[in-house]
Structure 1
Amino acid sequence: MPEAHYIASNAIDRDKSKCTRNIEIGTLSNIKTVWWRVDLGDIYSINVLFKNYDGYEMRQKGRIAGFSLYLSNSSISGNEILCYKDEEHLPPLNFTTTCAGYGRYVIFYNERLDEYKYPDGYQSSTVTELCEVIVNGCGEAGAYGEKCDEKCPKNCQEQRCNIINGTCVGCLPGWNGTFCEKKCPEGWYGLECKLQCFAHCKDNAFCNHVTGQCDNECADGWKGAFCDEQCLEENYGVDCKFNCSSHCRNDVPCDKQTGHCVTNRIFRKRMRKYLRMKSDTVALQDVLDSKNNHYYRVTSSTMPGYKGLMDNREKIDYQNVTSN
């Protein structure tokens, strides 16, 4: 446990005379890393005041050199976003940086690893002393600007935008663009406009750019919230709510859009087209079974006289055939 005058909360008590201090890390210690974290909100800038000792300014700079500042929405390690990384030059002991973003946590991190050669001026064994950390930002979600008097664009995800220029961190489903001001292109919808519509809306309309659903019913022969379910063999029309006639010749199924009985000639033509699409290497012929009123796929080895037909055929689903 740290001593009372070195506890972590000293860095945010607005009393510069009291600092937080970690135990030593680096070559003289088994501990190689150090971090400090504060729970906040929208962030505009971060000011860090490090401990200074008269006559030891360069040593103090060498102690904190190489530090990083991160933002994170989670207390779980691995989800941080880098805000600032100190490079080769020694940092000032009164340090301020602009860090535009949103994060529940601001995290200070530093390390001294045995296997790494650090630049000149870095202290190989070090302690970190934070006297005051001041984070400026907007306390209210959906605001940005130096005075937090501007409103984030309405289509920003979670009403979060860049606190400096108002650009959206992410967009609501159905929108894109720097300020989320553009609808998804026609035929696309959802988060980041990455989902493609099913092309079965009534009158060839495009789906809703937000939900992906058809705003004005499905095209005839289709149903479902996304109009992606084809009518069953015995149904047709709007939302598949009509029943096919039971008097079609040879019990051939009706057309899923019109409900008209499909003639054997048309059905055979559709069957041949379907088999050509499904076949890669074998020769195929369509056969209507007068007993069961189903079409079957037959390989060339059984074609002559259809010998062995009952043992070498594959039933073709009406639902697939009549849609082609």
Structure 2
Amino acid sequence: MYIICLCVGLFAISSAYVNVALNKPAYQQNQWKPGDKTYDASNAVDGRKSDLTWNGGQCAVSFGERVATWWVNLTSVHSIHHITIYFLTGSFSGHIFDHLGFSVYISNTTDILQGTLCFKDSNFTPDTMPSIFNTTCPVHGQYVIYYNERESGVIYPHGYQKYVDADICEVEVYGCPIVDNLYGADCCPDVNCQKCNMETDICVECEPGFEGHQCEQACQNGFYGEGCSEMCNDTCTGCNNINGSCDSGCLQGWKGGFCHIGFSGVPVSK
């Protein structure tokens, strides 16, 4: 029972992260057939994963050189939790050997020397190189960079090709946008929290209709809306804490969704 609960808890936490790389600007070095969208860098952040073959139009494909670089620009600094990479498959899956020794960086620029190394492959072999790769990397940054190289004069392990390609079909970067040191609603731990402090997880702005340190309380009776600052019509017998509609009905002599119409049929501003 404990294991089941733990797994559910972990799922709840991980499911809060969103793929912040989806449809963001991307670049790759040495694209195969430059200008042909079939092999464009943007294919690796388009969310499509139904055809991960060489010419399926869903992969970023480059041709073999000594250096292979691909990156996605998240357009602003994000708090990143983990990264998933889908490599090329199908009849050209032999190209996966070109990925041996690859690295993943997170940086605020496109320069890996100014970034943080999240992962450096030193253990994969032609038999163990995965088609789908996952790595946890709790780092703040704007660019996620895939990088590989084959330096002249260096003796590489068995299975390493002489040249390297990018050949990646989807890169998913799971994390949270950061605005003024705050996370957005998708990444806050409390369900009714709209913005929370990225360091303490304390909610600083609740969803309309809620209040409290963890936004766990509906607005007190008679109030509704953002910050619970709006007052319900006093002709309501009880109003909705989010939009102020008189869900519980009206006092005698009043009608309408907000109990703002007298029986004379004339709307009254209250």
TM-score (normalizing by structure 1): 0.41
Larger radius of gyration: 1
| Greater RCO (CA < 8 Å, at least 6 residues apart) | 2
